[in-house]
Amino acid sequence: MNAIIPPSPWLLAHAAQLPRRGCILDLACGRGRHLRWLAEYRAAAVASEELRFLAVDRDSAALQSLAGLPGVSTRCCDLEGENWPLAGERFAAVIVTNYLWRPRFDALLALLAPAGVLVYETFMQGNAAYGKPSRPDFLLQPGELRARCGAAGLQEIAFAEGYVEQPRPAVRQAIVARRVSG
Ligand SMILES: C[S@@+](CC[C@H](N)C(=O)[O-])C[C@H]1O[C@@H](n2cnc3c(N)ncnc32)[C@H](O)[C@@H]1O
């Protein structure tokens, strides 16, 4: 069985921005390292059933590893197929790390409820010098998260891009943003 890798430093640094109520979606969650950490971090809110989580991925074995975790539901689906499996749903927060599928980016932002918080972090242009991903489809352009969130009317809370040493040398981009209106 694969070990669970630690949560992203970006998520840890901005976890206080995440809501204590409602449902937090981890999109393309893998083995759910972020929901595992958040379930502990917000244990009181989970215990009182004010906070819950939805873990979405196409990898059913990865999702199964989350079975029994308090407050966590899982959904196995294809996020890149013809039908968008989350159509019409709204979440208090959406977390996306190490995943990019541009054709559904606007649909992803539409998942944020009013006051909903987006935490997004993945690789960007320049990462090929350090390893994978190296395909342009999987690498953000400079400033892309900022531009996309701005165009969707989200309020930026934090943004960073460039070379990072941890968790391994890479070129990454990250944002925390909030939907201020309906
Ligand atoms: C690099 S992993 C990142 C996992 C997690 N977000 C993290 O940072 O630990 C990418 C994840 O995207 C999922 N994924 C890739 N394509 C997908 C698709 N079409 N539909 C749903 N999940 C997909 C994979 O199964 C994998 O778990």
Angle (CA) 78-83-84 rounded to 5° is: 70
First vs last Cα of the chain: how many Å apart? Answer: 42
Q: Whose CA is nearest to atom 9 of ligand 1?
A: 30
Residues 6+ apart with CB under 8 A from 48: none
Please provide the size of the chain in residues.
182
Q: Distance of alpha carbon 169 from its chain centroid, rounded?
A: 20
Single pTM value for the model: 0.97
Q: Residue 1 above 80 pLDDT?
A: no
- Buried b / exposed e over 86-103, threshold 16 CB at 10 Å, is beeebbbbbbbbebbeee
Which structural domains are found in the chain, ordered by start?
9-179 (3.40.50.150)
Pocket test for ligand 1, best of 99, 122, 127, 168 (most atoms within 8 A of CB): 99
* CB-based contact 170:163 (threshold 8 Å): yes
Query: In a 3-state reduction of DSSP, which class is residue 99?
Result: coil
Please give the Cα distance from 178 to 117 (Å, whole number). Answer: 4
pLDDT in tens, 57-74: 999 999 999 999 999 999
Q: pLDDT-derived band of residue 83, with 50, 70 and 90 as boundaries?
A: very high
Q: What's residue 4's pLDDT?
A: 76
Q: pLDDT-derived band of residue 182, with 50, 70 and 90 as boundaries?
A: low
pLDDT in tens, 140-154: 999 999 999 999 999
Can you read off the two tokens belonging to residue 10? 């970006």
pLDDT in tens, 115-148: 999 999 999 999 999 999 999 999 999 999 999 9
Q: Residue 48 above 90 pLDDT?
A: yes
Pocket test for ligand 1, best of 4, 25, 59 (most atoms within 8 A of CB): 59
Please give the Cα distance from 53 to 38 (Å, whole number). Answer: 9
pLDDT in tens, 18-46: 999 999 999 999 999 999 999 999 999 99
Facing residues of 95 across strands?
A: 26, 119
